[in-house]
Structure 1
Amino acid sequence: MSEDEDHPQNLQQLFDCIDQAAEENGRVSWSAIMDEVGRRSFGPLLLLAGLTVLAPIIGDLPGVPTLIGMVVLLIAVQLLLGRHNFWLPGFMLNRSVPKDKLHKALTWLKKPARFIDKLLSPRLAVLTRGPMVRVIAVVCLGIALAMPVMEIVPFSANLAGIALTAFGLALIARDGLLALIALVFTGLMMGVVVYNLV
């Protein structure tokens, strides 16, 4: 089985993986979720990060966007350095969410997942491979660095979540058109954040 086949290929598969994450004392840790999603796959990890920020209940908790920004920062830097197995420090991996809140968020997210999956298809795949993955990593690095500031600009963290989700989906589905749309959206989002800060 290839590495791509080992990891989620769409939103529904990603949610199935998260649902299988082990729980301890009624809570699910980031480490357990990453074990299910795959620690070598940039696309699913980006998608997971974006959905965490977007998810109601979880993404609205103070500090969550900053934590996710740190996760994306570390993963993007490691990708740019050529690492194949992504590492995160224990204090991040040990962070957890209540299983019931995670289940509620997943239930909400599963509703549009099937529709979104139908819109994705392999097209302009060259924009999701090789050097372009590193370009996407650099853009995500910029988003990650901006996320702590986004916590004070209303709704901007949600916009960052949309961008990360789109990049993750583009890499998973080999959808270069979505990658282009995500790049344009990120530029507009950064413009909105800067405008609100000045």
Structure 2
Amino acid sequence: MNQPLQSLEQLLDRVSQSTRDNDQVSVGMVIESVGSRSFGPMLMLIGITLFSPLSGLPGMSIFMGSFVLLIAVQILIGRKQFWLPHFILNRSIGRRKLQKALHWLNKPARSIDRVLKPRLTFLVRNGGSYGIASLCIVVGLCMPFMELVPFSSSAAGLALLALGLALVVHDGLLVLLALGAFSATLILIVANIL
């Protein structure tokens, strides 16, 4: 359980193993099972949400931007695990539903793990995580402006998904791809506003 995670498949296995003895699994239990790698999955979740059609809902960019800022600030202050209010941490789901979702995610995780691997790790480990947090702060602060430009929050979601994956599998190449995607989004926003 103390070994560092190296892949998405290991992440899913750890969540599955640590929650198998409970009938109800809370958000807090899942975050605790992931430990210091909980920032990556949270960024991935926000990225997937923004990349989905939900990003078109009014106010979604601002709402998700505030979560991105919450994550980034916690990385910058050196927290080892993502903090959420107790009313969110206490929310729970049935173990069977969670196991079914984890089983469904195993195949895509295996496919992603074949492509991603630890490389350019200086971009994700130690000081590199502060660079990722700084980029997340810029993304979070730009989110309100993304309400004005259609589909720009989807591109930012893709960048956040890449950053989350980079933190989980230590693939610095994803950080560079996220930086490119967000730079293109920023240019698009500036061009449409001016």
TM superposition score normalised by structure 2: 0.72
Identify the match of residue 144 of structure 2 among 141, 148, 161: 148
How many residues align? The count is 185
- State the AA in 2 paired with 1:119: V
**Deviation of residue 177 (structure 1)?**
1.5
- State the AA in 2 paired with 1:65: S
**Deviation of residue 138 (structure 1)?**
0.3
Which one is further off, 144-153 or 179-188?
Answer: 179-188
Match of 2:96 in 1: none
List runs of 5+ in structure 2 lacking aligned partners: 92-101
TM superposition score normalised by structure 1: 0.71
**Deviation of residue 90 (structure 1)?**
6.2
CA radius of gyration, larger in: 2
Q: Following the alignment from structure 2 to structure 1, what is the Cα–Cα distance between the partners of residues 37 and 107?
A: 28
- Percent identical among aligned pairs is 46
Secondary structure at the residue paired with 2:83?
coil
Match of 1:184 in 2: 180
Match of 1:53 in 2: 50
Q: Following the alignment from structure 1 to structure 2, what is the Cα–Cα distance between the partners of residues 64 and 17?
A: 28
Deviations 1:89-148 (A, max 9, x none): 468x48x9xxxxxxxxx9x99886554332211112222101111011000111011112
Cα gap change, 1:37/1:45 in structure 2, threshold over 3 Å: closer, same or farther?
farther
Aligned pairs for 1:1-198 (under 5 A) are 1-2=1-2, 4-5=4-5, 9-10=7-8, 41-56=38-53, 58-89=54-85, 93=88, 114-198=110-194
Preserved CA contact (<8 Å) 1:37 1:45: no
- State the AA in 2 paired with 1:185: A
Q: Following the alignment from structure 2 to structure 1, what is the Cα–Cα distance between the partners of residues 81 and 120?
A: 27
Deviations 1:136-191 (A, max 9, x none): 10001110111122122100000010000011111111111221222222222211
Preserved CA contact (<8 Å) 2:48 2:157: yes
Q: Following the alignment from structure 2 to structure 1, what is the Cα–Cα distance between the partners of residues 108 and 61?
A: 22
Q: Following the alignment from structure 2 to structure 1, what is the Cα–Cα distance between the partners of residues 57 and 35?
A: 25
List runs of 5+ in structure 1 lacking aligned partners: 97-105
CA RMSD after TM alignment: 3.9
- State the AA in 1 paired with 2:2: S
